[in-house]
Amino acid sequence: MPDTTAIDIASGGLLESDDEGALRIAVIHRDRYEDWTLPKGHPEEGETIEQAAIREVEEETGSRGEIIEIVPPIAYLANRQPKIVVFYRMALVERKEFTPNEEVSELRWIAPSEASGLLTYGIERRLIADVYGV
């Protein structure tokens, strides 16, 4: 039986790019889960959730972001354990060439309005709708 007193904490980013006046956000595909999702992950030893969000975004997209603001966290059950993911809006600071790896197979830059048609998880689609008003 899972330990329902433990809460899994992760963080991630809504990495934003301005492509000729059009806002785009980074979404990733993970073959392991066959899903389209937002970049996120767990803090490493001694790392704050802000530092983890910046690192995870860079590891999963290949590009570096800078935190603009915190957005409402999302909460759900993952393997029957409560999980909270703290997301930050991030401005693109340095875009690098994306290289597929064992964790992330594809990166797409999409308009927030396209998220509902691509993101796998309803809770992430709702987050995008709430943050960007789409």
pLDDT given for residue 2 in this prediction: 55
pLDDT of res. 3: 59
pTM of the entire predicted model: 0.92
Here the tokens at position 110 are 């999409």
Percent with pLDDT over 70 in the chain: 96
Domains, in order of start, for the chain: 8-132 (3.90.79.10)
Write the DSSP assignment of 36-93 as a string of letters: EE--EEPPPTT--HHHHHHHHHHHHHS-EEEEEEE---EEEEETTEEEEEEEEEEEEE
Q: Mapping DSSP to helix (H, G, I), strand (E, B) and coil, where does residue 95 land?
A: coil
Split at pLDDT 50, 70, 90, the class of 6 is confident
Which residue, chain included where needed, has tokens 């930050």?
88
Mean pLDDT, residues 109-124 taken together: 96
Looking at every residue in the chain, the average pLDDT score rounds to 94
Mean pLDDT of 102-120: 96
Q: Each residue of 58-68: pLDDT tens digit?
A: 999 999 999 99
